[in-house]
Structure 1
Amino acid sequence: MAREKTNQNLPLNAPDYLAWHVTQKGKKSYWNKVGAAWQHKDGRGLTLQLETCPINGRIVLRLPLEDAPENTNDAGRS
């Protein structure tokens, strides 16, 4: 989801940040990945691509973890 091919001969364009939808239920936080963001070449902005658009909670941008497997429901992150 978070990688796109720009040209057959170029490497994949990994995102600079992953976008997470965070909701609270009591003391627990539930994190679901909803998209990714790429920094502009001039460093003055980001392009955010959402795969889904939540209507509640908040969206958090975080650096991707290099060694962690992709998990779409990371309960407990806060």
Structure 2
Amino acid sequence: MAKSNAPKAPTHEVFHVVGEKEKARWTKIGIGWSHADGDGFNLIINYTPLVQGRTVVRKIKAEQESAA
């Protein structure tokens, strides 16, 4: 089977999260693709946060994909 050079749609979104629970502020900072073997990701980060917080990678849900 020939390998396709067509880009795949991203499978994950990358967020910078400050705060906890209901008070958490989520800012989307990038996207990601899972590796074919499921053991890693390629990420494109469009912003590097300079404040405290954490980086979260979440799988894109089907309803989000259809809205894009």
Match of 1:54 among 25, 49, 66: 49
Superposed counterparts of 1:9-28, under 5 Å: 10=6, 12-24=7-19, 28=23
Alignment gaps of 5+ in structure 1: 1-5, 71-78
Aligned length: 61
1:29 corresponding residue in structure 2: 24
- Pick the structure with more helix per residue: 2
Whichever residue aligns with residue 45 of structure 1, its letter is: G
Whichever residue aligns with residue 62 of structure 1, its letter is: R
Alignment gaps of 5+ in structure 2: none
Whichever residue aligns with residue 28 of structure 1, its letter is: K
Question: What's the TM-score, normalizing by structure 1?
Answer: 0.62
Question: What's the TM-score, normalizing by structure 2?
Answer: 0.69
Identical residues among aligned pairs (%): 33
Q: CA RMSD in A?
A: 2.4
- Deviations along 1:11-68, one digit per CA (max 9) or x if unpaired, are x52112100110117x601111000111112222111110101122111111113324
Which contiguous aligned blocks of 4+ residues in structure 1 show a shift greater than 4 angstroms? none
